[in-house]
Amino acid sequence: MTERAYFDWNATAPLRAEARVAALAVMALTGNASSVHAEGRAARQTIEQARAQVAALAGAEPRNVTFTSGATEANMLALTPALEAGGRKEPRDRLFVSAVEHPSVRCGGRFAADAVETLPVDANGIVDLAALQAALARAERPLVSVMLANNETGAIQPIAAIAGIVHAANGLLHVDAVQGAGRIDCDIGALGADLISLSSHKIGGPQGAGALVRRDGIHISEPLIRGGGQERNLRAGTENVAAIAGFGAAAETARLARQADAARMAALRDRFEAALKVQTPAAVIFAADVVRLPNTSLFAVPGLKAETAIISFDLNGIAVSSGAACSSGKVQISSVLTAMGVSADLARGAVRVSLGPDTTEADIDLLLSAWMRVVSSLLKSHANAA
């Protein structure tokens, strides 16, 4: 059997051992967290412990953490006109999202379509701050949503600077911190954000759990899911206690190991990119001119199609992804690269390599060896077809 190496951590991270232990321990128990008997209280204690662990990852107060089914739901919960700050019941009148956001943000959440505006980015995918300032002048109480780090390129946004501009315009800032958590600092206070979204399975927790984290003074007056008083009346429905427990354990492990993991992943990523450029000088590494996540590399080679390359990688024992894999599993041209001004021909060939804490030097060797086989085969096919 072909030896395999996993390089799709940005899509989903393998379950951490600590998260597996925590989730399985809960699965062995019985009890609804809303019940007052001993079994119910034990489930409630598990949730509150996880809430404290996730809060610590985000530098927030546990009372400001709302558990959801994932980051998509957290984004939808956050993107509503019914946001209150400092007790002022003044609905947000306009939503501004960057052109490189996740589809769950670009869809506009619970804002009317004509109340949503897209902010441009530069060639590295960084939000145009001058355009942001000009846009905010068109709203009285804006809400702005900009991700901490891009899931495709890894480019890190200047969130603190964006927060200053937003708050000066009487606005609120939501940050999708899904890709940054556990890899770079995502302290809500240091970022200057008002709300941040997190995902369990991106940091090695179980799938099916996420969280919306608020700073003090931010209130959501209209829940997304009604029908019960769970999560302080912000998210109705019986909690997924096992997934939440695993999320908490993953959050704690990621927080404690973040700096060491980031340094090691950055060294491995840089080694891969240096070898890639030597082996394939025509390769283009996107957002290479700005600070990126330590684990992410998005690249393309003129003449290669991502869909074919990914299949070839898979046959060679390597799991990678395209710049934009849609929900159906097909490869499409990345809206992120389109927003960055990348030509359709080049964007069509974008391949993403994303590393994790368990990635090894041997894995990089396998990746580079597979790349040489993939690129030589596909470029030869391309030349013959031309």
Q: How far apart are CA 363 and CA 156, in angstroms?
A: 25
**Burial of residue 382, with CB atoms counted within 10 A of its CB: 0-12 exposed, 13-18 middle, 19 or more buried:** middle
| Angle in degrees, CA 213, 219, 224, rounded to 5 | 75
Which of the following is catalytic: 21, 263, 311, 326?
326
Q: How far apart are CA 207 and CA 161, in angstroms?
A: 32
Task: Name beta bridge partners: 300.
Answer: 284
Residue 144 CA: distances (Å) to CA of 162, 171, 301: 9, 7, 35
Tokens of 47: 């949730």
Q: How far apart are CA 14 and CA 26, in angstroms?
A: 19
Residue 129 CA: distances (Å) to CA of 136, 203, 275: 11, 30, 35
Task: Name beta bridge partners: 354.
Answer: 8, 296
Q: How far apart are CA 132 and CA 288, in angstroms?
A: 23
Is-catalytic flag, 326?
yes
The answer to whether 3 and 317 are in contact (CB under 8 A) is yes
Q: Catalytic positions, please?
A: 326
